[in-house]
Amino acid sequence: MRSKLSLVLIILLVFGLLLTSGCTSNKEVEEFRVGMECGYAPFNWTQTDSSNGAVPIEGSTEFAGGYDVEIAKAIARGLDKKLVIVKTEWDGLTPALLSGSIDAIIAGMSPTAERQKTIDFSEPYYRSDLVMVVKAGSKYEKATSLADFSGAKITAQLNTFHYTVIDQIPNVDKQAAMADFPAMRVALEAGIIDGYVSERPEGISAVEANDNFAMVVFEEGKGFVASDEDVAISVGLKKGNPDLVKKINDILAKISEEDRIKLMDNAIKNQPAGK
């Protein structure tokens, strides 16, 4: 009787250990699912290997790298979760967040008033200036003001504030918005457009990747007018979770301005050619 009872106790003990182990395992693999285009260097891009700290893209043999990825890694560590990168088209990011297929958008997104009606945002993790990317050697390379682009064929990414500021250029030949930055670079290379509106990091990235491109930085007071919420970049989060917003803000606050500059400099240096 004692031996039978002991056997039962052993079985129960083993079963309990298995349950405990299972719970621990589940906790260890809790995910922080982040959506980004993986096509907006130096903020985010796609590459073929894990070099320079790139992270696997879910459902793909490719990897994601860039400034946004480094920020996502820092947040995931702070939340004690496993980072999962979900490659998502720009227009699909907010729907993916609202549906729960991703936990956050970390994709160079500005916390505009219009977007804040739908989703919540963290404090900014980057701020940038608006520039124009043009062909090197073109008549627009030496431009210093918006007036210098009068009559030029200019575009920007679809559903971004970049596209709306084109209207500030006098007599501009505004072209149809394009889906992403790789498409705009191809159009610029082919001469379909004379330039596209971007932010300084992407402009530097474009010039670093292609000698045929040049970046126009406007003189003070002669460039685009944009609000702080437009040039700021924040983490997008589903509404109704203030605790998560606070946790992410606390994590971001620990990343010094010096470290943010260093992360961006490294992203520009490490971007794959042509991205």
Query: Hey, where are the domains in the chain?
Result: 29-125+234-270, 128-229
The whole-angstrom separation of Cα 114 and Cα 96 is 17
pLDDT in tens, the chain (275 residues): 444 445 554 544 555 555 555 544 444 669 999 999 999 999 999 999 999 999 999 999 999 999 999 999 999 999 999 999 999 999 999 999 999 999 999 999 999 999 999 999 999 999 988 999 999 999 999 999 999 999 999 999 999 999 999 999 999 999 999 999 999 999 999 999 999 999 999 999 899 889 999 999 999 999 999 988 888 999 999 999 999 999 999 999 999 999 998 999 899 889 886 55
Q: What is the pLDDT of residue 273?
A: 67
Give the pair of three-digit tokens for residue 131.
Answer: 């520039």
Give the helix ranges, DSSP H, for the chain: 2-28, 67-79, 93-99, 113-116, 161-165, 181-190, 200-209, 228-231, 242-253, 257-270
What pLDDT was estimated at residue 228?
A: 86
CB atoms within 10 A of CB 119: 19
Is 244 exposed, middle or buried, given 0-12, 13-18 or 19+ CB atoms closer than 10 A?
A: middle
Q: For the stretch 34-65, what's the b/e string if a residue is b when 16 or more beta carbons lie within 10 angstroms of its beta carbon? A: bbbbbbbbbbbbbbeeeebebbebbeeeebbb
The class that CATH gives domain 29-125+234-270 is: alpha beta
CATH top class, domain 128-229? alpha beta
3-state secondary structure of 51: helix
> How does DSSP classify residue 235?
-
Predicted confidence at residue 5, as pLDDT, reads 45
Residue 275 has a pLDDT of: 56
d(CA 232, CA 121): 11
Per-residue confidence (pLDDT) for residue 269, from 0 to 100 = 87
Peptide bond just before 201 cis, omega within 30 deg: no
- Given this model, what pLDDT does residue 209 score? 87
* Per-residue model confidence (pLDDT) at position 274: 56
Burial class (CB in 10 A: 0-12, 13-18, 19+), 117: exposed
B/e letters for 132-170, b = 16+ CB within 10 Å, e = fewer, are bbbbeebebeebeebebbeebbbbbbbebbbbbbbeebe
User: In whole angstroms, what separates CA 111 from the centre of its chain?
Assistant: 13
Distance from C-alpha of 165 to C-alpha of 224, rounded to nearest angstrom: 7
Which pLDDT score, from 0 to 100, does residue 28 have? 61
